[in-house]
Amino acid sequence: MNMPDLPAELTDFKPELGLILGSGLGFFADERIEVVGRLPYGEIDGFPVSTVPGHAGQFVWGHLQGRRVLCMQGRFHFYEGYRMEQLTLPIRMMHQLGVQTLFLTNAAGGINASYQPGDFMLIEDH
């Protein structure tokens, strides 16, 4: 799958940090990032579009604590019918744009009674 054409406003930005925000975390881009630009997924030729309620479905780029960040505000999933090459496209695209560190987030539950709503969990085994 070829990389999509992106606006120069984004390609010239040279993000160093990537964020993929899952369910319930879309607010982070609006509240914490000093936004430089936004690009809805639907405006990118051949790019998957999120169908999950609450996923804004757009790239947001700007500055976070002095670092250039590219953020996916919402994502798409295998169960939405997308092929793996489509699901990995944003990650490959971020790398091509210069992202060196990537954080993926998601909503998760656990059976550990010590977990409280809002706790952060770190997946270390894959």
Question: CA–CA separation, 14 vs 43, rounded Å?
Answer: 20
Poorest-confidence range of 29-33, 51-55, 58-62, 76-80? 51-55
Helices (H), strands (E): how many in the chain?
Answer: 4, 5
Question: CA–CA separation, 82 vs 89, rounded Å?
Answer: 11
Range of the domain at 57: 19-76+96-107
Domain count, the chain: 1
Q: Is residue 124 part of a domain?
A: no
- List, edge to edge, every strand of the sheet that includes 34-40: 34-40, 58-64, 67-73, 17-21, 101-104
Predicted local confidence at residue 5, as pLDDT: 83
Q: Is residue 123 part of a domain?
A: no
Question: What is the percentage of the chain residues whose pLDDT exceeds 70?
Answer: 96
Prediction pTM value: 0.84
**pLDDT higher than 70, residue 54:** no
| Three-state SS at 29 | helix
Q: Is residue 120 part of a domain?
A: no
Q: Is residue 62 part of a domain?
A: yes
Q: Is residue 102 part of a domain?
A: yes
Predicted local confidence at residue 1, as pLDDT: 62
